Structure formats: C-alpha cells, structure tokens
Amino acid sequence: MNFNDLNLINPIKKALAQEGYERPSPIQAEAIPPLLAGRDLLGCAQTGTGKTAAFAIPILQTLYRQSANAPQKHSLRALILTPTRELAAQVAQSFQDYGRHTNLKTVAIFGGVGQAPQVAALRGGVDILAATPGRLCDLIGQKLCDIGGISMFVLDEADRMLDMGFIHDVKRVIALLPRERQTLLFSATMPKEIAALANSILRDPVTVAVTPVSSPVEIIEQSVYLVDRLNKGALLIDLLQGADIVSALVFSRTKHGADKIGRILNKAGIAAGVIHGNKSQGARETALADFKSGKTRALIATDIAARGIDIDQLSHVINFDLPNEPETYVHRIGRTGRAGLGGVAISFCNFDEKAYLKDIQKLIGKEVPVVEGHPYPMQVFEPHVPQPRPPRPPREQRIQETQRTQGSPRTREAPRGKAADAPSRKPAEAPECKAGETQNHRPRRRRPR
C-alpha cells in the first residue's frame, strides 16, 4: 500500500513526500480510512509506530475540507490531549509539518512555562490544539480557551494519563466537549480504568492494534550485564568510552539518580545531558536539542520525562536501573529500533534487581542474553541494606568545625557564598557508582507472584 491508496488530498500528500515518507506504517494504513469515514477509534499502539500521523493526517484532511470555503477563518475544531509537554509540542509540530500546505493552524499549550504566549497564540486563531490536561483546564477556567466547538478529539497515551494522575483533569475536559464529535483514544496498554473510559467515550469504535506492549520489537538486540550496584557507573563509562555506542538514551528510575549519572559521565569527559520532571522546560529542551544535534552523547532520563520524546535513529537504550514494572522495560527499549531501524537495548542488573529481570523475561516471553566476560562482573550476591545516615551534629558544632578547618568566614579567601571545599549542607555525596542506590530499595509496586 502507498499513500495514493488512502484518498489523501494533494496538500497532505505533498507534505508527506517532503517528510520522506514513502508508504504508510501499519497503523496508518489501518486507521486512516475509517477515520476519514468519521468513525471513532481505539488504538492500541505506542510511540514509534507512526501513530501521530495516523490521527494527524485524517484530522487535517477533514478540517481542510470543512475550511475549503473560508480558508482564512480559523476556529478551534480539533483537540489532542497528551500527558507530557514534550509530547504536546511534538504532536503540534507533526500537525504543522503534515499540514504545511493546508493553512490550518496548530498550537501547543502546556504547563511549566508562562501562559501569555500561549494565550496570544489562541487569540490569533487556531484550528487544532495539542494540550496537556492541567494547563488546558487552567485556561478554560480563566475563560481564555473555549473547547465548545471541538468536533474531533484525541486522547493520546491514555494509560500514561492514568499513571501520572491526570485522569481527573482529562475527565473534566471531556465533560466540556460537545457530545457530537469524533473521538480517538490511543493507549499502549489497556488497564481496567482505561478500558472503562474508552467504553464510555467511544461510539462503535474500530480497534487498531499494533506492536502490543507484551511483544517488544523483535529487531531490537537486547542484552543484560550482571553488575554490582556500585560498579554500574564505571561500567557505563566503559561502554560509552568504546566506539560501539554513538549515542545512548540512559534510563534512571529516579530524578536524583539521573542527576548523579549525568555528573559521573561529565566528570569522565563524556558529554551528557539530563532530563527529568524537576528540570525547567528550557533546560529540558536544551538537553534534548543537544542530544539530537550530537553535542552530547548520552541523554539521561527518567521514564516520565522520556515518554513521548521522539528521537529518530536512536541506536542505544541503556537501562542503568531495571524498572520494577516489566511493561516499562518494553516502553523504554521501544525508544530505539524505530521506523524499522535496528536498535540495541542494554540493561544493568544488580543482585537486588534480579527479580525485575525475571518479570521482564516473563512478559517478553524470552530470556535476555547475559553478557559474559565484562570488566565488572557481579560479586555481591546478597541484598543491599541501606545504612541509616549518621545524625547531624548540632549547628554550633558544625560552625565551629567549619571555622577550625576553613578559618573564620571573614578570613577565608573563597568568594562570598560557599567555599569550594567547604562541607556541603547536604550529607556527603555518595561515591559516583552509587547512582542507583536509593532506587534499588524502593518498595516494589508489583506484588511478588
């Protein structure tokens, strides 16, 4: 099948050719015809399958046809709700790319940045809105955005909305939408709550399922290194110093862990950026842009921050920590091997994470090959018991200690602020290789089977 078989209008076909798309991906081939016919759709698909174009193309084509008589008049008719700001921005970009010859206007709105430019963009007239639920609810509450004219609604990555606690905002938005509309719901997994939501908002939907989450892309080469917790940092440096890995997306289970891994790599001379929920929008965008342009070789990310990030031709995913939910492993490794390209997924597994590895292998239905003969083989075969922190001495005593070792603050040479070698207010940083320390001992969310 090619795009000519899908009855697409010329402005869209032209844009797809400019994107270099030769033929529709499976989800596009299956979803576009019923969507152009006005059907609701339930899509079981994750990022990397081409699902954005699968809904963007029919939405653009439908709105373009409606606007044919008044091409200069913009009115908000399509809404795409996404769980993360990165995904909202990427979805809007895709609409702009595929719709570049249509005169339809797409705007992204999301939290974490000032609302004024977004409000100005809305006032300028818009046809399609890609939004995160929190900011959208805010703007609706302030009467700065009206979704009463929406006739096409997409709920993207519905399972993540649930995971991230946005489902109430999503339901508030849905309650404000006109009843007469075309609705599309995409979700990589189908937990009970999402199945119930789908049931309540979709009318006689067509179901399209591609790459179900329990069968990770076969083309991805997977391996696991059994390594002690304290040696993970050294192993990561060793791998990244070799020539095999041009660039890698490195997953950390926590934000704190991600920062630590970033510091370890940068200290070892390996340019690395860090992206997680505590970083400002600007810092995240810079880290992502530096990684995409090759300025940095590694991007360290938490699962939530990495969700929806679209990086073409990512060759390696490294799980510095194994996730405690096996589905997350599948999501993570799916970041590589996109659009039919091969990819490599490397996981580090310490003694405490062996149970997670077992769960993952059970879900994917095969063993992940263990790399033998690497420089940091596992030597600790018992669970790690975190040591309680020693109590802090009283403030007076700490000041006296500082003065004894540094001199009085007035006589110190260091500039104002903290002396370069003054004791940190925080407890001493754990040794570099301890990046996974706090992560390995979080209570497992899954019950042992």
| Burial class of residue 345 (count of CB atoms within 10 Å of its CB; 0-12, 13-18, 19+) | buried
Encoded tokens for 55: 């809904």
State the nearest-atom distance from the C-beta of 331 to ligand AMP, in Å: 12
Nearer to ligand AMP, 323 or 337 (CB): 337
Nearer to ligand AMP, 310 or 352 (CB): 310
| Burial class of residue 81 (count of CB atoms within 10 Å of its CB; 0-12, 13-18, 19+) | buried
Nearer to ligand AMP, 58 or 436 (CB): 58
Q: What angle separates helix 10-19 from helix 85-98, to the nearest 10 degrees?
A: 120
Helix (H, G, I), strand (E, B) or coil at 352: helix
User: Quick one: three-class SS letters along 2-59?
Assistant: CHHHHCCCHHHHHHHHHHCCCCCCHHHHHHHHHHHCCCCEEEECCCCCCHHHHHHHHH
Nearer to ligand AMP, 51 or 181 (CB): 51
Nearer to ligand AMP, 25 or 118 (CB): 25
Question: What is the rounded CA–CA span in Å between residue 321 and residue 343?
Answer: 19
Question: What Å distances lie between residue 36 and 40, 154, 220, CA to CA?
Answer: 10, 14, 33
Question: What Å distances lie between residue 425 and 279, 287, 393, 394, 418, CA to CA?
Answer: 21, 28, 12, 13, 10
Q: Where are the beta strands (DSSP E) in 4-83?
A: 41-44, 78-81
State the nearest-atom distance from the C-beta of 53 to ligand AMP, in Å: 4
State the nearest-atom distance from the C-beta of 324 to ligand AMP, in Å: 26
Sites of contact with ligand AMP (CB under 6 A): 21, 24-25, 28, 47-53, 310, 312, 338-339
State the nearest-atom distance from the C-beta of 314 to ligand AMP, in Å: 10
Nearer to ligand AMP, 53 or 131 (CB): 53
State the nearest-atom distance from the C-beta of 16 to ligand AMP, in Å: 7
Question: What is the rounded CA–CA span in Å between residue 165 and residue 83?
Answer: 10
State the nearest-atom distance from the C-beta of 113 to ligand AMP, in Å: 22
State the nearest-atom distance from the C-beta of 175 to ligand AMP, in Å: 28
State the nearest-atom distance from the C-beta of 105 to ligand AMP, in Å: 20
Nearer to ligand AMP, 49 or 106 (CB): 49
Encoded tokens for 192: 């009970």
Of 342, 348, 309, give the one whose Cα is nearest residue 329.
Answer: 348
Nearer to ligand AMP, 132 or 324 (CB): 132
Nearer to ligand AMP, 103 or 313 (CB): 313
Q: Is residue 20 a contact partner of residue 41, using CB atoms and an 8 Å limit? A: no
State the nearest-atom distance from the C-beta of 56 to ligand AMP, in Å: 8
Name 198's bridge partners: none
| N-terminal to C-terminal alpha carbon distance within the chain | 45
Question: What Å distances lie between residue 224 and 82, 228, 354, 370, CA to CA?
Answer: 32, 13, 11, 5
Nearer to ligand AMP, 53 or 433 (CB): 53
State the nearest-atom distance from the C-beta of 192 to ligand AMP, in Å: 25
Q: What angle separates helix 116-123 from helix 133-141, to the nearest 10 degrees?
A: 70
Of 285, 349, 278, give the one whose Cα is nearest residue 318.
Answer: 349
Nearer to ligand AMP, 106 or 254 (CB): 106
Residue 138: φ, ψ to 5°:
-55, -50
State the nearest-atom distance from the C-beta of 97 to ligand AMP, in Å: 8
Dump the DSSP string for 110-146.
-SSS-SHHHHHHHHT--SEEEE-HHHHHHHHHTTS--
Encoded tokens for 435: 């990046």
